[in-house]
């Protein structure tokens, strides 16, 4: 605010500008919440979000090892927008490896993998704050909730120490 005032903008203009930006952020958050709520209602999903806002929706129960921080999770996955359009995938023999708590994947993945066991197939409905935030990435616009269908194929116990 001091920078704006030093630039010669009157106090009232600075306050209007700050109010407009805060309303825009609130509108974006409310819009994202509405999109998620509509998706959940249309599909009859009854699970509650975790404390972080992640929706973990188990499609097929697994019975193997549950990954811990530092373990490598070997998965197949599909990344989708909530309208069903795909933006990424690794299927069949084309698996993807994630060191839980370490790899450079979105926070929603790290959290979601901790709920799974080998053989589990689940949806992770990820709000943008646990994905690519307000800036987005590549073909994913900012403030966009995402849906991942993850099939946890195998867990390799890790030796990586995670703080």
pLDDT at 20: 42
Confidence of residue 19 (pLDDT cuts 50, 70, 90): very low
One domain for residues 52 and 13: no
One domain for residues 131 and 70: yes
- Answer yes or no: is 86 within a domain: yes
- Answer yes or no: is 7 within a domain: yes
One domain for residues 145 and 73: yes
One domain for residues 134 and 63: yes
Tell me, what CATH number does 61's domain have? 3.10.50.40
- Per mean pLDDT, which range of 29-38, 92-101, 120-129 is the poorest? 29-38
One domain for residues 52 and 29: no
C-alpha span between 52 and 50 (Å, rounded): 5
Mean pLDDT value across residues 102-114: 96
pLDDT at 24: 45
- Label each residue of the chain as H, E or C: CHHHHHCCCCHHHHHHHHHHHHHHHHHHHHHHHHHHHHHHHHHCCCCCCCCCCCEEEEEECCCCCCCCCCCEEEEEEEEEECCCCEEEEECCCCCEEEECCCCCCCHHHHHHHCCCCCCCEEEEEECHHHCCCCCCECCECCCCCEEEEEEEEEEECCCCCCC
- Whole-structure pTM value: 0.80
C-alpha span between 80 and 82 (Å, rounded): 6
- Answer yes or no: is 133 within a domain: yes
One domain for residues 88 and 138: yes
- Answer yes or no: is 83 within a domain: yes
One domain for residues 66 and 144: yes
One domain for residues 35 and 53: no
Confidence of residue 27 (pLDDT cuts 50, 70, 90): low
C-alpha span between 127 and 21 (Å, rounded): 21
One domain for residues 53 and 31: no
- Answer yes or no: is 163 within a domain: no
C-alpha span between 150 and 147 (Å, rounded): 10
Mean pLDDT value across residues 50-74: 97
Mean pLDDT value across residues 22-47: 81
Q: Which domain holds residue 27?
A: 2-41
- Answer yes or no: is 134 within a domain: yes
Structural domain tally of the chain? 2
Beta bridge partners of 147: 80, 125
One domain for residues 101 and 124: yes
One domain for residues 28 and 106: no
């Amino acid at each position: 605010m001091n920078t704006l005032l030093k630039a010669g903008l009157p106090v009232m203009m600075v306050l209007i500008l700050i109010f407009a930006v805060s309303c825009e952020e609130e509108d974006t958050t409310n819009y994202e919440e509405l999109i998620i709520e509509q998706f959940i209602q249309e599909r009859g999903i009854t699970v509650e979000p975790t404390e972080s806002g992640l929706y973990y929706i188990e499609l097929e129960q697994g019975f193997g090892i549950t990954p811990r921080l530092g373990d490598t999770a070997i998965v197949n996955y599909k990344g989708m927008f909530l309208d069903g359009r795909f933006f990424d995938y690794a299927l069949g023999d084309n698996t993807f490896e994630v060191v839980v708590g370490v790899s450079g994947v979105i926070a929603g993945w790290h959290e979601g993998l901790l709920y799974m066991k080998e053989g589990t197939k689940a949806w992770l409905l990820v709000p943008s704050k646990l994905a690519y935030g307000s800036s987005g990435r590549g073909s994913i616009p900012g403030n966009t909730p995402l849906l991942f269908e993850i099939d946890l194929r195998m867990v390799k116990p890790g030796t990586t120490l995670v703080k």
